[in-house]
Chains A and B, each alone.
Chain A
Amino acid sequence: MDAAPDLNSGGTGGGGGSAPAASPWRPRPDWLVAFALVFFAVVYAYPLVRLVAWSFWAPGFTFRNFAQIVAEPAYLQAFYNTVEIAGIATAVCLALGYPLAYLMATTDPRPRMILGALILIPFWTSVLVRTLAWVVLLGRNGIINQALLAWGLVERPIPLVFNNIGVQIGMVHVLLPFMVLPLYAVMARIDPSLVTAARSLGASPARAFLAVFAPLSLPGVVAGASLVFLMALGFYVTPALLGGPNEITVATLIEIMVRDLLDWGSGAALGLLLLAGVASVFAAGAVYAGAGRLVGAERA
């Protein structure tokens, strides 16, 4: 990791044009950006416009799709469930991820490499496979319950899956890297001599951490937490397979609308409301930590 921490500038948000080229042979990067923009417009912006159109069409321009959602308390419950699940997952990821990132940032290169690999390995397996594996591990006849029974710690299997516990285990497993990596990126750039200076001026280790290191790591916390929270809002497979009735999320509701009822207008309206929620979380995170860190562009 290079340079001293530059906490307020963040990135420029995904590498736009640079200063005019000093040499005439250097190609202007605008061309490359143009291709990317066209691609983005076709595969993302256009479908998004269609989505917006569907949500206000039933047939004819209408607010009915939105009115139906707001009027049905059960649908609001799905939004509540979604935010609750995402909020808890974010808090758990932070509680587990912060010490992990701290360890990675302060340890020697070799253990750091091993920790990094351990965090990244789950990325190589599909979410579906990982989720189904949890059903096997956490189930009534799964190894965890069988071990607890064999050791006499419980009398009957405890419900670890098809409820909030199962969903949280599955989600934290998938999302933890998205918390650890931004945290580590920020922590690795905190100058260790600042903490040493605090210590030499008489601060206790705890005081030096709380007054110096923790505030400097805050942008990483915001970046990691926003990233995890907004990914968790859109999670579909994990809550559907590992959850019960209290874990029905907006994504599941959209599935019912689009696939079972062919009510694409209501599905689009639900999707748009969720998108608006995601966008406002992203905007809040971006304002605080700088958009660059949220999208992973570290170097400006």
Chain B
Amino acid sequence: MARIMKPSRRQILKASAALGAAAASGPFFHIGPAKADKGELVVASWGGSWAKALREVMFDDFEKMTGIKVSDDGPPEAAKVKAMVESGNVTWDILDTDVPAILTMMKNNLLMPLDYAKIDADKLAKIPKVLHHSHAIGHKIYSFNIVYNSKTFPRGKQPASWADVWNGDKFKGARSFNFRGGIYPQLEFALLADGVATEQLYPLDVERAWRIYDKLRPLVTKWYGSHAEAIQLLSTGEVDIACTVGPRGISAKRAGAPIDVDYSQGKLAADNWAIVRGAKNPEAAHQFINFALAGERQAGMSKRDPYGPSNPDAFKFLSESEAADLTTSPANIKSQFWHGVDWWSKVGPDNKTEAERQTERYAAWMLRRI
């Protein structure tokens, strides 16, 4: 999905960044909790159990093998990266974040292109092509799924398609869907609920999708702003069905919450490794990404936090029971589809991506009083 930036825009961005830097000269402080410097890498991730697993599975061994110290920081919000790059004070090297954020940052010229020559060819051959981006590569697979309260819906009686989720008569119960928090409106699921076949989803029939979204509105009691909020609402029984990240549901289930996941018609997406423009250590950053894409490393991550590995080699290092719940396990991946990055990142004549246009429309849709 390599996208070429129009030079005019790049010049404009440079010019405005220079202007910003000029405005920033003066008594102005930048306080960074971690500083990327020679012989040191700073990896910004979303924290929590994933960050803890990164330390155990990735950082400690990488430090031992290469002598390059790795520190972690975060959260890798696009707005923070923009502030760093524009002020010329880049304290992070590597980001671990989702495609919407990657696309926004690419459009704002905040990332360094990945040098694929520095990554082992056999790893690249195994990682699905849909995850190879010009400025990022997918490593941690999550998916948007039907996550439900297993007390309300015992296994076997759960909603098993988006048509079921949209059907408030057949499946009584409160729904929760995302709004804001950098998560796109779930237009794909609206179309699937209306009978569109998975293969015919893209390009999305936007007008039809928003019409179907209207029907969802009375069924939703809370529009959540973060996935953690969605899981919280499910586990306290505040809602019965949430459209949220399946692996987070599995994680909650393993911790004993009355939550389960139906992977049918799920939308697969990836968190990515990407390098910040102006990172102090691009060489070491590529070295780390190459190290982290190994199947064995990804398997170690999946054992600690049940996200799907992007490198299928990882399944060689996972037991059958460890693999069964993962979103990219051979059984689960079959019933899901890949998020259409190309469609969402398409830039229109107004210089806005489809993602930006639909995000704005989502805000307007939500604000409309009915």
Q: Does A107 contact B (CB under 8 A)?
A: no
Pair A262/B237 contact, Cβ less than 8 Å: no
- CA of A92 to CA of B184 in the docked complex: distance in angstroms? 37
Instruction: Note all chain B residues with C-beta closer than 8 A to A246.
Output: 369
Instruction: Note all chain B residues with C-beta closer than 8 A to A141.
Output: 236-238
In the complex, which residue of chain B has the Cβ closest to the Cβ of A77? B367
Contacts A140-B237, A248-B366 given: A260-B180 contact, CB under 8 Å?
Answer: yes
Instruction: Note all chain B residues with C-beta closer than 8 A to A159.
Output: 221
Pair B368/A261 contact, Cβ less than 8 Å: no
Q: Which of A202-210, A249-257, A273-281 contacts B (4 or more CB under 8 A)?
A: A249-257
Q: Does A300 contact B (CB under 8 A)?
A: no
Instruction: Note all chain A residues with C-beta closer than 8 A to B79.
Output: 258-259, 262
- CA of A181 to CA of B28 in the docked complex: distance in angstroms? 36
Question: Taking chain A's interface residues, is the majority helix, strand, or loop, or is none over half, making it mixed?
Answer: helix
Classify chain A: how many residues form its interface, as a range: 35 or more
Pair A140/B174 contact, Cβ less than 8 Å: yes
Q: Say which residue of A53, A245, A253 sits within 8 Å of B23 (CB atoms).
A: A53
Instruction: With both chains docked as a complex, state the minimum distance between the C-beta of A39 and any C-beta of chain B, in angstroms.
Output: 10
- CA of A252 to CA of B180 in the docked complex: distance in angstroms? 9
Pair B364/A72 contact, Cβ less than 8 Å: yes
Q: Which of B128-136, B249-257, B297-305, B355-363 contacts A (4 or more CB under 8 A)?
A: B355-363
Residue with the greatest number of chain B CB neighbours at <10 A, chosen from A53, A245, A260: A260
Contacts A77-B368, A139-B236, A244-B223 given: A260-B12 contact, CB under 8 Å?
Answer: no
Instruction: With both chains docked as a complex, state the minimum distance between the C-beta of B10 and any C-beta of chain A, in angstroms.
Output: 12
Q: Does A162 contact B (CB under 8 A)?
A: yes
In the complex, which residue of chain A has the Cβ closest to the Cβ of B361? A74
Pair B367/A248 contact, Cβ less than 8 Å: yes
In the complex, which residue of chain B has the Cβ closest to the Cβ of A267? B79
- CA of A177 to CA of B108 in the docked complex: distance in angstroms? 44
Q: Does A78 contact B (CB under 8 A)?
A: yes
Contacts A50-B23, A141-B236, A244-B222 given: A57-B16 contact, CB under 8 Å?
Answer: yes
Instruction: Note all chain B residues with C-beta closer than 8 A to A57.
Output: 16
Q: Does A240 contact B (CB under 8 A)?
A: yes
Contacts A50-B23, A75-B367, A78-B367 given: A256-B359 contact, CB under 8 Å?
Answer: yes
Pair A260/B182 contact, Cβ less than 8 Å: yes
- CA of A124 to CA of B287 in the docked complex: distance in angstroms? 48
- CA of A245 to CA of B221 in the docked complex: distance in angstroms? 10
Q: Does B78 contact A (CB under 8 A)?
A: yes
Q: Does A16 contact B (CB under 8 A)?
A: no
When each residue 3-47 of chain B gets 1 if its CB lies under 8 Å from chain A and 0 otherwise, what string results?
000000000110110000001001110000000000000000000
Pair A74/B364 contact, Cβ less than 8 Å: yes
Name B336-366 residues within 8 Å CB distance of A.
356, 359-360, 363-366
Q: Does B181 contact A (CB under 8 A)?
A: yes
Q: Does A136 contact B (CB under 8 A)?
A: yes
Q: Does B225 contact A (CB under 8 A)?
A: yes
Pair B221/A74 contact, Cβ less than 8 Å: no
Pair A162/B359 contact, Cβ less than 8 Å: no
Contacts A53-B23, A261-B359 given: A139-B238 contact, CB under 8 Å?
Answer: yes
Pair A77/B369 contact, Cβ less than 8 Å: yes
- CA of A159 to CA of B112 in the docked complex: distance in angstroms? 49
Instruction: Note all chain B residues with C-beta closer than 8 A to A258.
Output: 79
Q: Does A44 contact B (CB under 8 A)?
A: no
When each residue 212-240 of chain B gets 1 if its CB lies under 8 Å from chain A and 0 otherwise, what string results?
00000100011101000100000011100
- CA of A136 to CA of B12 in the docked complex: distance in angstroms? 49
Instruction: With both chains docked as a complex, state the minimum distance between the C-beta of A219 and any C-beta of chain B, in angstroms.
Output: 37
Pair A74/B368 contact, Cβ less than 8 Å: yes
In the complex, which residue of chain B has the Cβ closest to the Cβ of A253? B363
- CA of A255 to CA of B180 in the docked complex: distance in angstroms? 8
In the complex, which residue of chain A has the Cβ closest to the Cβ of B82? A262
When each residue 45-89 of chain A gets 1 if its CB lies under 8 Å from chain B and 0 otherwise, what string results?
010001001000101000000000000101101100100000000
In the complex, which residue of chain B has the Cβ closest to the Cβ of A163? B221
Instruction: With both chains docked as a complex, state the minimum distance between the C-beta of B82 and any C-beta of chain A, in angstroms.
Output: 6
Name B164-184 residues within 8 Å CB distance of A.
174, 180-182
Pair A162/B221 contact, Cβ less than 8 Å: yes
Pair B16/A59 contact, Cβ less than 8 Å: yes
Q: Does A135 contact B (CB under 8 A)?
A: yes
Q: Does A117 contact B (CB under 8 A)?
A: no
Instruction: Note all chain A residues with C-beta closer than 8 A to B77.
Output: 259
Pair B104/A261 contact, Cβ less than 8 Å: yes
Instruction: Note all chain A residues with C-beta closer than 8 A to B360.
Output: 261
Instruction: Note all chain B residues with C-beta closer than 8 A to A261.
Output: 104, 356, 359-360
Pair A245/B366 contact, Cβ less than 8 Å: yes
Q: Does A42 contact B (CB under 8 A)?
A: yes
Name A226-271 residues within 8 Å CB distance of B.
240-241, 244-246, 248, 252-253, 255-256, 258-264
- CA of A64 to CA of B236 in the docked complex: distance in angstroms? 45
Instruction: Note all chain A residues with C-beta closer than 8 A to B104.
Output: 260-262
Listed by A's residue number, 10 A-B pairs whose Cβ atoms lie within 8 Å are A75-B367, A77-B367, A140-B237, A141-B236, A162-B221, A241-B229, A256-B359, A258-B79, A260-B100, A260-B180
Q: A74-B367, A75-B367, A77-B367 are in contact. List 12 more A-B contacts (CB 8 A).
A: A50-B23, A78-B367, A139-B238, A140-B237, A141-B236, A240-B225, A248-B366, A256-B180, A260-B100, A260-B181, A260-B182, A260-B359
For the complex of A and B, list the 4 residue pairs with the smallest distance between their C-beta atoms, beginning with the closest: A74-B364, A74-B367, A77-B367, A59-B16
